[in-house]
Structure 1
Amino acid sequence: MRSKAHIKTHPIHPMLIPFPTAFLTGTFLFGVLSFFTGKDDLWHAAGYMEAAGIISALIAAVPGIVDFRYTVPPDSSAKKRAAKHGIINTGMLLVFITAFLIRADEISLWVIVLESVGMVMLVVAGWMGGTLVHRNQIGVFNRYADSGKYQEAYAVIKGGIVEAGDVNELKNDQMKLILAGKKRIVLGKTEGEYVAFDDRCSHKGGSLAAGVLICKTVQCPWHGSQFCVNDGSVKAGPAKEKINTYTVMEKEGKLYIKV
């Protein structure tokens, strides 16, 4: 699903995280080398890299927080994983900040021990981040044949009705995500018919708006579960529970969803 913090659909967070990863890894390696060789130059270089790593990590955290808040689907396995990813990264950063603050001109084993702990946390957090991208496709902007541009709109629920857009806004097998309060509803057009359903796979909470809609079937991008968009029934697992569907009404060239 497309990142909310992006440059021309390219997510910013993955662009920035190589910098703190490289700087903090270099900090640890140079610290270890200085400990075994006794070279002060390596120790001082490690200190400069640590400062650069901390600053770049704080900068990289900003688009990461934006994605956590606005991109990762709520009530999903990815949301829980992203929360753990953020907590471990915060702990890792605090460890490196502590090591930097107690760092002196003399080579210190205690600083290296702290940085070792920070490195373990960095690896674990990085593994979780990779899972969020490659398995949960956070920031991955997948499109398929004739899917058109990704569409998203905010709406207000009035009397149980949501205005979803114009009648001619979508072509066949295209989708649009409607954000109405706490509800995330997908408006789609398939086989010449307008349909609407929850933007949540019943398996692990993946965003169906980021999936594929073909022949009245929507497929989740995470694990491939397929649902009938007319009644929400499961057509292919691993999902076992149906998704919620809604009635789409047309009036004076506008589409409305009854929720």
Structure 2
Amino acid sequence: MKSFANVKGHPIHPALIPFPFAFLPTALLFDAGSRWLARPAWAITGFHLLQLGILSGLVAAVPGALDFLQRVPPASSGRSRALRHGLLNVAAIAVFAIVWSLRRDDRVTGATLALELLAVAVLLYSGSLGGTLVTRNLISVDHRHANAGRWRETRITAPAGTPVAIARADELERDQMKLVIVNGHRLVLARTGNGYAAFDDGCTHRGGSLADGVCIDGAVQCLWHGSQFDCATGEVRSGPAKKKIRTYEVKQQKDEVLLVSPPR
């Protein structure tokens, strides 16, 4: 799913995380070397690396939080994984900040080393969760190209039960989709060989975003685990999902596509 915080399509958060991951573990190495190898000058380097790591970690957290709030599908396995990833990162940075506050005189103690080691371990585990978010949940991965069309998203507020326009009639080509958030509810509008169809965005297996999936021959496939659903009826065509997705009535009126009965 295309990152919310991006520059010309390039995600910002993955571009920033190498800095704290380089600075903070290296700070631990310099601090350990200053104590065990009797190199007191190394502690100064470690202290400055600690400062740089904390600062760069806080900067990287901003686009990460935006992607979490705006892109990670709600009520999904990716959402809980992203939440753990973010909270553990905050915890690690907080421990590094405590170490920094205890080291105003540049001295390295056994206690500060132990705290740094703990924080680095948490950071590495959290980083592995972040990697899973990219490789398994496709967060920050904009895979759309060629006939799949670019990522499209529309937010609409409308009275429940009152037809509302959610797209132009010529906005989508065949087998293209867009995410439509109506009154906070995530729907997908897809154009199939039989016309337009609308259905819930969340896969019934693990909550993956179907708007970020693939639409082929009247079926939509979730890219997280491969479940396929009929766009018109919502029925499961292929598992692991067992439960159908909810569908919504849409109709084309002149040059607009209308959602007949928007959810509350």
How many residues get paired? 259
| Match runs of 1:125-204 below 5 Å | 125-160=126-161, 161-204=163-206
Partner of 2:219: 217
CA contact (8 A) 1:234 1:240 kept: yes
Measured in 1, the distance between the counterparts of 2:230 and 2:87 equals: 38
Please identify runs of 4+ aligned residues in structure 1 that moved more than 4 A.
none
Measured in 1, the distance between the counterparts of 2:160 and 2:200 equals: 19
| Match runs of 1:73-88 below 5 Å | 73-88=73-88
The one-letter code sitting in structure 2 at the alignment partner of 1:49 is: L
Partner of 1:2: 2
For the pair 1:51 / 2:54, whether they are aligned, the reply is: no
| Stretch of structure 1 that moved more, 120-129 or 150-159 | 150-159
CA contact (8 A) 1:5 1:66 kept: yes
For the pair 1:60 / 2:60, whether they are aligned, the reply is: yes
Change beyond 3 A, Cα 1:144–1:238 = farther
Partner of 1:236: 238
Measured in 2, the distance between the counterparts of 1:218 and 1:31 equals: 53
Measured in 2, the distance between the counterparts of 1:150 and 1:247 equals: 23
SS state of the match for residue 99, structure 1? helix
The one-letter code sitting in structure 1 at the alignment partner of 2:49 is: M
Measured in 2, the distance between the counterparts of 1:146 and 1:162 equals: 27
Measured in 1, the distance between the counterparts of 2:5 and 2:223 equals: 20
Measured in 1, the distance between the counterparts of 2:66 and 2:58 equals: 13
Measured in 2, the distance between the counterparts of 1:163 and 1:177 equals: 14
Q: TM-score, normalised by structure 1?
A: 0.97
CA contact (8 A) 1:155 1:163 kept: no
For the pair 1:124 / 2:152, whether they are aligned, the reply is: no
For the pair 1:227 / 2:229, whether they are aligned, the reply is: yes
**Aligned-residue CA RMSD in angstroms?**
1.1
1:94 deviates by: 0.8
The one-letter code sitting in structure 2 at the alignment partner of 1:235 is: R
Q: Tell me, which stretches of 5 or more residues in structure 1 are unaligned?
A: none
SS state of the match for residue 188, structure 2? strand
For the pair 1:115 / 2:140, whether they are aligned, the reply is: no
1:8 deviates by: 1.2
1:124 deviates by: 1.0
Measured in 1, the distance between the counterparts of 2:182 and 2:246 equals: 15
Measured in 1, the distance between the counterparts of 2:194 and 2:108 equals: 71
1:168 deviates by: 1.3
For the pair 1:35 / 2:6, whether they are aligned, the reply is: no
Measured in 2, the distance between the counterparts of 1:159 and 1:92 equals: 44
Measured in 1, the distance between the counterparts of 2:179 and 2:106 equals: 56
CA contact (8 A) 2:47 2:106 kept: no
Q: TM-score, normalised by structure 2?
A: 0.95
SS state of the match for residue 208, structure 1? coil
The one-letter code sitting in structure 2 at the alignment partner of 1:122 is: L
The one-letter code sitting in structure 2 at the alignment partner of 1:56 is: S
Partner of 1:254: 256
